[in-house]
Amino acid sequence: MVSGTRPSRADYYRVLADGLQADALVVTALGNASYLWAAMRHAPENFYIEDAMGLALPLAIGLAVAQPARRVVVVEGDGAVLMHMGVLVTLGAVAPKNLTVLLIQNGVHAASGGQALTNPALDLAQLARAAGTRQAGNVATPEAFGAALHGALAADGPHVLVLATEPDLDVVRPPIALDPIATKLRFMGAIGAPRYVPAMFGGGRLM
Amino acid sequence: MTTGVPAADQHRPSELLDTLKRLGFGVAVAVPDSWLGEILVRIEQEPSMRLVRATHEEEALAIACGARLGGARTAMLIQNVGLLSMGAGMVCLAQRYQFPLLMLVSYRGTPEDPVFYHIPKGQATEPLLRGLGLAHARADPARPIGPQVEAAATYAEESSSPFTLLLSRKDIQW
């Protein structure tokens, strides 16, 4: 899979950073998916997944359900999808209109050193369509990604864009501490999520 | 109890669902079990709640974390086998990020369960919860279920962690 001919994750991220609405919510999977995004476009509306392989996409589905008025973009890996392929069925069934799924297809488990995938060449867009997400396609260049992203963010989703990507095995050093609790609290503060008021203060509710 | 109706005479699944609605649970994420089948249909019919049916309990857990991240009070309804199959997500996501989740879990494989093949899951459930350091309680059949659900939900929020309430068939089977 290491051919040197595919765009890099950074190539796609530059397009994403340029094309994203300012109030969009971004969920990134473990490894460089999070580290590089934090380096290129850190924002309080980013939710960085520290580990939890395969759970970025389902988390983003839940987030999209809870925040239907905000655009949600999730960056997930091909190895992660293989690990939890059932989530494609859930995506098709729940079908959040505000969700755009970017699948980095680099053919390896990049975050753990580049080990081979069980099948590095699956047509993940075809799988997504078969699982119920009609708007799913393969993308092989940053230019094509720019056009596809623009279309996806301007229309009802869900959309799945499978990005043919060169593996990036060198770990990017993020510019901030990706502390999980800080990430969560910063994110929830940025979106104005209701706060829980303890029962002792007459609450026991989100307010 | 404020109604004067003996707990045994109340329809406990109705009381459980009414409690979720009263507490403002907007999202429920589920993987079915035979005891949960009908209450999930009832939740689907509730205009104030959104039911998400997941394919696997670890996936369900991540969906629930995402919904709670987005500001929705969120419950999970699963069988206890799901506690076994969601372990990695529990420690790496729900506990690591301190997501308050109410986990309503059908407790299969106890001596009251007539289905023999659930026994291994029943035997593993409470040791597993202790091993994960996951706060939990077993619903008391002699007390109304509503206050027990509310206490579990309150604990989850006030401890910023998932809380598992283990439920019998009478608690959840409609």
Examine residue A126 and state whether it is found in any structural domain, yes or no: yes
ipTM score for this prediction: 0.96
Q: What is the pLDDT of residues A137-172, one digit of tens each?
A: 999 999 999 999 999 999 999 999 999 999 998 999
- Under the banding of pLDDT at 50, 70 and 90, the label for residue B1 is very low
| Domain count within chain A | 1
Which residues constitute the domain of residue A13? 9-206
Closest residue in A to B23 (Cα–Cα):
A205
DSSP-derived letter for residue B7 is G
Q: Is B131 exposed, middle or buried (0-12, 13-18, 19+ CB in 10 A)?
A: exposed
Contact B96 A51 (CB under 8 A): yes
- Quote the mean pLDDT of chain B: 95
Examine residue A96 and state whether it is found in any structural domain, yes or no: yes
The residue of B44, B59, B98 whose CB has the most chain A CBs within 10 angstroms, and thus the best one to mutate to test that interface, is B59
* Structure-model confidence comparison of residues A4 and A80, the more confident one: A80
Examine residue A138 and state whether it is found in any structural domain, yes or no: yes
Q: Would you put residue B122 in left (φ > 0), alpha (ψ -120 to 50) or beta?
A: alpha
Q: Name which CATH class applies to B21-172.
A: alpha beta
Closest residue in A to B20 (Cα–Cα):
A205
- Residue whose structure tokens are 């990036």: A168
Q: What percent of chain B has pLDDT over 70?
A: 95
* pLDDT of residue A133 exceeding 50: yes
For residue A87, the domain's CATH number is 3.40.50.970
The residue of A55, A76, A184, A201 whose CB has the most chain B CBs within 10 angstroms, and thus the best one to mutate to test that interface, is A55
Residues 6 or more apart whose CB falls under 8 angstroms from that of B128 comprise B83, B84, B87
- Under the banding of pLDDT at 50, 70 and 90, the label for residue A180 is very high
Examine residue A2 and state whether it is found in any structural domain, yes or no: no
Q: What is the pLDDT of residues B9-40, one digit of tens each?
A: 689 999 999 999 999 999 999 999 999 999 99
Contact yes or no for A31/A111 (Cβ under 8 A): yes
Examine residue A127 and state whether it is found in any structural domain, yes or no: yes
Mean pLDDT, residues A71-92: 97
Examine residue A1 and state whether it is found in any structural domain, yes or no: no
